[in-house]
Structure 1
Amino acid sequence: MKHLSIPLSFLIFLSCSREETHEPQPIDNPYYDQAFTYLDSGPVDSAFFYLNLAKDVFLEANDSLNAAYCLTQMAIILTNQGDHFGGQETSLQAVAYLNQQNRAHHHYLGSNYNNLGIASRNLKDYKRSLDFYDLAIKFSDDSLDTRIYLNNKAVTYKEMENYSEAYNIYQQVVEETSKDPREYARVLSNMTILKWLQDPTYNAIPEFLRALRIRKEENDLWGLNASYAHLTDYYQKKRLDSAWYYARKRYEVAKQIESADDQILALRRMIRLGPSDSTKLYFATYQRLSDSVQSARNAAKNQFAVIRYEAEKNKADNLRLQKENAENAYQISRQRILTTVIAIIAILLLAGSVYWHRKRKQRLELEAQNRIKAHQLKTSKKVHDVVANGLYRVMTEIENKPDIDREGILDRLEVMYEKSRDISYDTEVDVPSADPPDFNDKLAGLLTSFASDETKVVIVGNDFDLWETVSLAVKHEIEHILQELMVNMKKHSWASHVAVRFERIGHELHIHYSDNGVGLPKTFTYRNGLTNTGNRIKNLRGLITFDTEVEKGLKIHLSFPVF
């Protein structure tokens, strides 16, 4: 985790800028000194704890400037740790102790409004973010600070996709950055990405590489991280091998600077752009890192909330003790003490009773909602399996068979009608009451019903002996699973050859499905049918594996235990 340190640092998107703050001269306050020791060396929650204590000391001494300075530092810590609402709240508290008419306060007003701008931008409140940056610029008394605030404002316009306004800001500051290589490279890189975003045909590579060269010479790791991100974005639709190369470079630099967020962004691109044989490894790393970052941020938010709560609680306790001591100095009464104790116990009992009642009510409401959702899901599954897939199978047979068994079709439609009516009355229709004879013939009929002049269906291993010891419930599930696969094939794959192979290995039954259709797209997501298929396999304690490659069709392997 990256710790905030003095000089004051602000994290900004696509760049890393530091803002030098004019530290106010405080009164003798040991908490203040301890806080800045932790700001320099960590941990950040300890710095936050002592800043909070130091702030209270300054307030007691009527030192509003230093109290505001402590609050500003606390707000920046909260924002950098992902608690943007907390950062906003604390910054707004700091504003109350700063005087806009006093020029000695202007620098701190600028820093505080800049943090409000960052927090608002991270919360996607762009209009308010721009207003706060304008206030930061208004009160800025240093050209470097002003350029930082302008850069943050440009980043906000970029996130709003208002690229022309962002570019105008960078044009305003680019000449002032010529003497600082790192700052110049940052502005050059950001201007170039804006040119390209406005005109996708613009050749941005020379300027990107120029900024990259400067950052390498300056050993500016944060700048290199931004350059590699820009190059990855530029190449991802032009040259995948180059985009893949720069995404990996960004990941390496992100690990050096210990930026978990940038590592996650780099891994996300590597998963999308990299070869298929390495995708699983990168995805596992991405998932582990993403979960770790989220857990750390949640823990940090909770920790800061606890610190503030404990501080306020201690203040309240101190005030209560002072009041009790003053009262005890004038009057000591056993009756008053007894009455107070009884009142506290009654309040605690009442509060406990109210709390228990509310928790119980919430639990009952949640259980009721869960039951409703489970019932809705079950009904949806029945409609999909019984009615939708059944109708589609009948439609397929009508389409592909020249000789239509009119009476047979009507009988099957009548059965589906009865089943759909059973669903409306919430009657179980899933499992038949008797084991169908010759289940292998029934499966063969199901699979071949989807064959046509354009689609050949080959069945291997569907022998009578294979199903002899398989339970009725399992057969029912397998029938619906295969029907779902064939319906999906007919609807989406455009396959001309379909093969279904059955085999039994020990106590496991394996079903291998393959077709030469279009396969599954990279953006494939489970919908109702395949979600139900996955749930059915899970109910059978089995596994389902999708193996899809572009122009090579689709392979699905199903396996589950049978006894």
Structure 2
Amino acid sequence: MKNYFLLIFLILLSSCAQKNINNQKESIADIYYKKAKETKKDSKFYYFNLAKNSYLEIQDSAGVGKSLVNMAILQHDKGDYYGSIETSLEANKFLKNVQDSLTRWILAASYNNIGICSSYLYDFDNSVKFYNSAIKYANDPENKYTYYNNLGDVLISLKKYKEAQLNFVKALQTKEKSNYAKALNNLARAKYNDNPNYDPLPELYEALKIRQQQNDLYGENSSYATISNYFLIKDKNKALYYAKKMLEVATKNDSKEDQLQALQKIINLDKENYLKYFVRFQTLNDSVQISRSKAKNQFAVVRYDVEQKNAENQSLKLRDTENKIDILYRNVVLIILSILLIVAFFWYKKRKKRLEQEKELEVKNTQLKISKKVHDVVANGIYQVMTKIENQEHFDKDEALDELEFVYEKSRDISYEKMDSKNDDQDFSEKISGLIGSFNNENVNTYLAGNDESIWKGLKESTQEEVYQVIRELLVNMKKHSKADRVVFRFERENNLIKIFYTDNGIGISGDVIYKNGLSSTVSRIETIDGEIIFDTKIEKGLKINISFPAH
């Protein structure tokens, strides 16, 4: 109780010294910012958020902007790319004075961060736009060379190799050896992609040597990845060697993203030890996904907590202002109320935090469910209708309109969690036959075997829905990426286990196709129904996928 009276006494003193505190706000904001720069990563976001709020109080827009940009970069580092873009865009709102050199520097860094996040999200066109904005506002030569290099990298993804080379040549003007090695490595990559007869190895090895001399482990990983890709067709043993070197260095510097890339390469190259590396890949990838999810939640909680504290501080300031009006007559009342408020505050805060956590979890689960429903019903539904129209020469117009009207109605019903009422009286085996048949055309022949009613007997509706979406995703992925002209589905039921065998004669599966072409969703769905999915990449051509799950 003595501590409570001491706190009340400090509150009263603070009201008498309000003017001095106001004069010190700027230094408080700078202290928070400095502490954020010096502290460990786990606390950086928290202190940058405090600095941002303090800069807001003193109307320092540049301070707000630089704090938000640093927060956005931390979100990017943790894999929260959408959140990072949102925070950078919020920062840009405070960076209006483009005549100020500091503002231009911060704005350039913000656009560069958005460009990087957009490239990770495969939004390459927007990535190019944001990198150009970063170059436009950059007033530091070394930073500008970095932005030229980043722009060239995304232009390679867009297969604009000559334009990419022009940017890498500009990036080579850097005086920093690590940045020079990065630009040199990327320039050789662009030249080789533009002209397969070009020999990039001298430049690639030179870049690797510089990175080794600089002890630039992340740079070494980039070099090993590029050289491994170069030897992928020419010499698989060398390709495997450099992929393993990449894994070794990535493990050493605990770069999980680089480890995943290296494992993807090794899985396709080391046939004898394929299973060992595939299990390691799955385990690491699960860990990365969990880490990213935790990071997103952590950032949201930190921002919410800081905003709550800021609101509480504002409330205290308001009470202090009111107390000044008649402090001599209200001291007793103030002390009594403050004691009650402090006791109630800790009780309320504990209870409110628990309720907020429960509500936040509920909201996130609802968002995930709705997002999945939109993907299943709207995106894949429309794509299936488009496929029918494309594949059937005399497709019935009324039937197409009915299909689109159904998708429209379903999109309106998503928020009400209505179940799929279409074809409820249609047997599930018929629905599967119709789905697979809708992708059959003059360029692609689809076949299915074993799709009897007995296969699906006793299968829950929720499991049926997941299986239907899995088959549709496989077909959509085939049409978009595989270039196959023959697709086979075979269904079996053994005891209480349903098996689906998928085969096509397309271009096969590359190292990162599972997580870039939509098949990651397929893996997730199979896990949801306690099933197992195996991608067979040992065949010379085409793709084989074996799926099994309990029949309940």
**Distance between the aligned counterparts of 2:422 and 2:293, measured in 1?**
26
**Distance between the aligned counterparts of 1:90 and 1:545, measured in 2?**
39
- Paired residue for 1:280, among 248, 265, 275? 275
Distance 1:127 1:34, change over 3 A: same
Matched residue type, 1:52? N
Aligned-pair CA distance for 1:66: 1.3
> Deviation per CA, 1:242-283, whole angstroms, max 9, x where unpaired?
000000001111112221111000000000001x33111101
Task: Give the match's secondary structure for 1:236.
Answer: helix
Distance 1:110 1:548, change over 3 A: closer
Identity of aligned residues (%): 32
Is 2:104–2:137's contact at 8 Å kept on the other side of the alignment?
yes
Distance 1:372 1:232, change over 3 A: farther
Which residue is 2:11 aligned to? Answer: none
> Deviation per CA, 1:60-101, whole angstroms, max 9, x where unpaired?
112222121111111111222222222222212222222334
Which residue is 1:131 aligned to? Answer: 129
- Paired residue for 1:299, among 290, 294, 298? 294
Which residue is 1:72 aligned to? Answer: 69
Larger helix proportion, structure 1 or 2? 2
Alignment of 1:460-499 (within 5 A): none
**Distance between the aligned counterparts of 1:245 and 1:534, measured in 2?**
42
Matched residue type, 1:292? S
Distance 1:57 1:272, change over 3 A: same
Pair 1:246-2:250 in alignment: no
Pair 1:96-2:96 in alignment: no
Distance 1:161 1:373, change over 3 A: farther
**Distance between the aligned counterparts of 1:183 and 1:43, measured in 2?**
24
Task: Give the match's secondary structure for 1:82.
Answer: coil
Which residue is 2:15 aligned to? Answer: none
Task: Give the match's secondary structure for 2:267.
Answer: helix
- Paired residue for 1:84, among 65, 77, 81? 81
Alignment of 1:18-417 (within 5 A): 28-30=26-28, 33=31, 36-37=34-35, 39-44=37-42, 46-103=43-100, 104-174=102-172, 176-177=173-174, 179-274=175-270, 276-316=271-311, 365=417, 376=428, 380=432
Point out the structure with max Rg over C-alpha. Answer: 1
**Distance between the aligned counterparts of 1:368 and 1:129, measured in 2?**
38
The number of aligned residues is 370
Aligned-pair CA distance for 1:523: 13
TM-score by length of 2: 0.57
Distance 1:137 1:381, change over 3 A: closer
**Distance between the aligned counterparts of 1:64 and 1:89, measured in 2?**
17
Is 1:29–1:54's contact at 8 Å kept on the other side of the alignment?
no
Aligned-pair CA distance for 1:59: 1.2
Is 2:182–2:207's contact at 8 Å kept on the other side of the alignment?
yes
Aligned-pair CA distance for 1:50: 1.4
- Which is worse superposed, 182-191 or 365-374? 365-374
**Distance between the aligned counterparts of 1:307 and 1:207, measured in 2?**
45
**Distance between the aligned counterparts of 2:113 and 2:188, measured in 1?**
26
Distance 1:547 1:237, change over 3 A: closer
Matched residue type, 2:274? T
Aligned-pair CA distance for 1:548: 11
Is 1:537–1:544's contact at 8 Å kept on the other side of the alignment?
no
Distance 1:246 1:545, change over 3 A: closer
Is 1:32–1:51's contact at 8 Å kept on the other side of the alignment?
no
Aligned-pair CA distance for 1:233: 0.4
TM-score by length of 1: 0.56
Is 2:455–2:498's contact at 8 Å kept on the other side of the alignment?
no
Is 2:227–2:239's contact at 8 Å kept on the other side of the alignment?
yes
Aligned-pair CA distance for 1:225: 0.8
Is 1:235–1:243's contact at 8 Å kept on the other side of the alignment?
yes
Distance 1:373 1:106, change over 3 A: farther
Is 2:268–2:537's contact at 8 Å kept on the other side of the alignment?
no
- Paired residue for 1:532, among 482, 492, 496? 492
Task: Give the match's secondary structure for 1:532.
Answer: strand
Aligned-pair CA distance for 1:536: 5.5
- Which is worse superposed, 77-86 or 33-42? 33-42
Is 2:33–2:67's contact at 8 Å kept on the other side of the alignment?
no
Aligned-pair CA distance for 1:369: 7.3
Matched residue type, 1:289? L
Is 1:151–1:169's contact at 8 Å kept on the other side of the alignment?
yes
Task: Give the match's secondary structure for 1:255.
Answer: helix
Distance 1:319 1:219, change over 3 A: closer
**Distance between the aligned counterparts of 1:379 and 1:542, measured in 2?**
21
Task: Give the match's secondary structure for 2:296.
Answer: helix
Structure 1: any 5+ residue segments left out of the alignment? Answer: 1-25, 333-347, 385-419, 432-521, 552-563
**Distance between the aligned counterparts of 1:241 and 1:224, measured in 2?**
19
Matched residue type, 1:88? I
Matched residue type, 1:220? D
**Distance between the aligned counterparts of 1:239 and 1:205, measured in 2?**
13
Is 2:80–2:296's contact at 8 Å kept on the other side of the alignment?
yes
Task: Give the match's secondary structure for 2:196.
Answer: coil
Matched residue type, 1:532? E
> Deviation per CA, 1:357-407, whole angstroms, max 9, x where unpaired?
999x989846667996996258648999xxxxxxxxxxxxxxxxxxxxxxx
Aligned-pair CA distance for 1:27: 6.2
**Distance between the aligned counterparts of 1:145 and 1:129, measured in 2?**
17
Aligned-pair CA distance for 1:217: 2.4
Is 1:35–1:47's contact at 8 Å kept on the other side of the alignment?
no
Is 1:215–1:223's contact at 8 Å kept on the other side of the alignment?
yes
Matched residue type, 1:135? S
Is 2:455–2:492's contact at 8 Å kept on the other side of the alignment?
no
Is 2:148–2:170's contact at 8 Å kept on the other side of the alignment?
no
Aligned-pair CA distance for 1:537: 4.1
Matched residue type, 2:110? N
Aligned-pair CA distance for 1:205: 1.8
Distance 1:290 1:318, change over 3 A: same
Is 2:455–2:493's contact at 8 Å kept on the other side of the alignment?
no
Is 1:534–1:544's contact at 8 Å kept on the other side of the alignment?
no
Matched residue type, 1:163? Y
Distance 1:100 1:37, change over 3 A: closer
Task: Give the match's secondary structure for 1:99.
Answer: coil
Matched residue type, 1:75? A
**Distance between the aligned counterparts of 1:545 and 1:128, measured in 2?**
35
